[in-house]
Structure 1
């Protein structure tokens, strides 16, 4: 089968031919209907050899959906021919976090060698993918996999961050969204769907700010030296009760620190590598700083339910496996509007 793999440290993704995998006991094979590209892929491909720990070759694609075409021995409750989304942050299934469906915070995954598809295990950027357990599949029903596959990360991750700050998202409050690309433009929609807050969007791209306006941002500002003053003006000097940084580079974290309100939340979602100092004389009194990771299985179900009502959608650019390397190049250059999806 065709697959997109990372095969050599320091080089980009490659289109290759590899054997079609067979499901073992308890496993499920999906014929992939859609796979999403993510900046996280480039993050791991950009790591030096001494920091890279995901194995080579690595089939990419931690956002995946497909049709069940083969079941391993002992699999129950999964429909052959059914359409499913893959819940990506695989855990042990037995620790306290996993018992709550929060496998994104599994305490044993690393020691047991459990890794998400595309981030250690073979991913969905291929014609077929193996899912390790039935609990990691969520039925799509009549949802279009191409339109919704990105919600398994680009929807789930913002939703998890936003819902963990739900108590701050009251009427009259303000939320700042920094970075309105793949995750940020979905985060704006989630905020509008689940809360009454005023949403201020920041980006360095006018095209992405235009997308932010399209999906519901009340204000869209350039993320430059004037952003802090403008946000302070829009909030009457109070600042934002919640700041969601989907970029995570040092300049955006510096903005987040300067615009968060007293007793507000800063959620660092992006993995841009910036560091935010916190404490007295650094962040306002009572302000909390959090680095959330992905989301729970139940939250993915909720995100897909938002998609069913039309409250949340993803702006998608479609590619084939043959053009996926080109799509990764566009993503690396910041030229993808919304989310890139490969349709095998």
Structure 2
């Protein structure tokens, strides 16, 4: 079968032929309908070295956002029907620590010693015609389209988890939320905020087309640049936002989110651009918090899939045939993708 393989550090991946995996005990073989191309993949093959804290040992098939149809059952698998469509939960923890038993493999206590972080991140992923995954990691899609669902495994799950943690800040009247960065995750975040809260939603990005993708239906957009923070605060009557979500994570975007936040606010850094933040007593709103989140739990992904099936979230995707899978990554790196690039190996 054809697959996109990360073969070495700081080396562009290859589209190559590999063996179709055989599902082991407790696993299924999934015929991949769609696999999302994510900036995290780019970090894996462009930025990491063997000494990097987030390094993942090559080689393996990329693709930590995938969905498809069950093709074959491994030994011991029950309750799963061949041909049914599923979304794949990516994180693969140790399965026995206090976090894993809660379905939060994304926060596995033994992550440092696990052989992989996730399907597609250390373990062969879904950027291929077939992928073997633990049956436990399957989230049913019913009759919903698995191609468009694929990026929700990260681009839906990650913002959902971040927003869910901040819901107490957005409960009640007159609340406001800020989304910084309107790529694949940020665009879905706007939809999730609209579905789960009654908050005023403010979205900001350096690209006009990204803001155009979310504008309207109660969403107010502010371009990055001079006067950005002042405009955001003006939209809140000078109070500042009650919750801000930074889907970039650079020093400048973290600073923007914090400067736009008000008393008692929550600023969540979701993007992994490795930015830093400065703190001072008089320069920080009272009782405000700054924290980071990573991915989400298996239970969270069930919620995301339910919202997708009900039409509450609809990711914007650009599809690529398997022959053009590497072009999907080139376009992603060049900033030409609005929403999410999804490779369709079995279209």
Verify same fold: TM over 0.5. Answer: yes
Residue number in structure 2 paired with 1:290: 291
Aligned equivalents of 2:21, 2:101: Cα separation in 1: 29
SS in 2 for 1:32: strand
Residue number in structure 2 paired with 1:11: 11
String of CA shifts for 1:115-160, please: whole Å, max 9, x gaps.
20111100100011111x2211111111101111111110110000
Residue number in structure 2 paired with 1:179: 181
Query: TM-score, structure 2 length as denominator?
Result: 0.95
Aligned equivalents of 2:41, 2:182: Cα separation in 1: 18
Long gaps (5+) in structure 1: none
Residue number in structure 1 paired with 2:119: 117
1:250-329 to 2 correspondences below 5 Å: 250-278=251-279, 280-329=281-330
Q: Deviation of residue 112 (structure 1)?
A: 3.3
String of CA shifts for 1:206-240, please: whole Å, max 9, x gaps.
000100215x4521111112111101111111100
For the Cα contact (< 8 Å) 1:201–1:217, is it kept in 2?
no
Q: Deviation of residue 94 (structure 1)?
A: 2.2
1:129 alignment partner, one of 114, 128, 131: 131
Residue number in structure 2 paired with 1:82: 84
For the Cα contact (< 8 Å) 1:55–1:120, is it kept in 2?
yes
String of CA shifts for 1:177-212, please: whole Å, max 9, x gaps.
001110000000000000000000000000001002
Residue number in structure 1 paired with 2:223: 222
String of CA shifts for 1:233-271, please: whole Å, max 9, x gaps.
111111000000011111111101211111100010111
Residue number in structure 2 paired with 1:97: 99
Give the total of aligned pairs. Answer: 342
Residue number in structure 1 paired with 2:61: 59
For the Cα contact (< 8 Å) 1:188–1:217, is it kept in 2?
no
Aligned equivalents of 1:126, 1:141: Cα separation in 2: 22
SS in 2 for 1:55: coil
- 4+ aligned runs moved over 6 Å, structure 1: none
Residue number in structure 1 paired with 2:214: 212
Q: Deviation of residue 110 (structure 1)?
A: 2.9
For the Cα contact (< 8 Å) 2:23–2:132, is it kept in 1?
yes
SS in 2 for 1:46: helix
Q: Deviation of residue 307 (structure 1)?
A: 1.2
Q: Deviation of residue 282 (structure 1)?
A: 4.1
Q: Deviation of residue 23 (structure 1)?
A: 1.4
Aligned equivalents of 2:127, 2:270: Cα separation in 1: 23
Aligned equivalents of 2:96, 2:24: Cα separation in 1: 21
String of CA shifts for 1:285-325, please: whole Å, max 9, x gaps.
11111110111111111111111221111011000111011
SS in 1 for 2:71: strand
Residue number in structure 1 paired with 2:44: 44
Aligned equivalents of 1:40, 1:48: Cα separation in 2: 11
SS in 2 for 1:165: helix
SS in 2 for 1:28: strand
SS in 1 for 2:184: coil
For the Cα contact (< 8 Å) 2:56–2:116, is it kept in 1?
no
RMSD: 1.4
SS in 1 for 2:304: helix
Aligned equivalents of 1:217, 1:156: Cα separation in 2: 23
Aligned equivalents of 1:343, 1:38: Cα separation in 2: 15
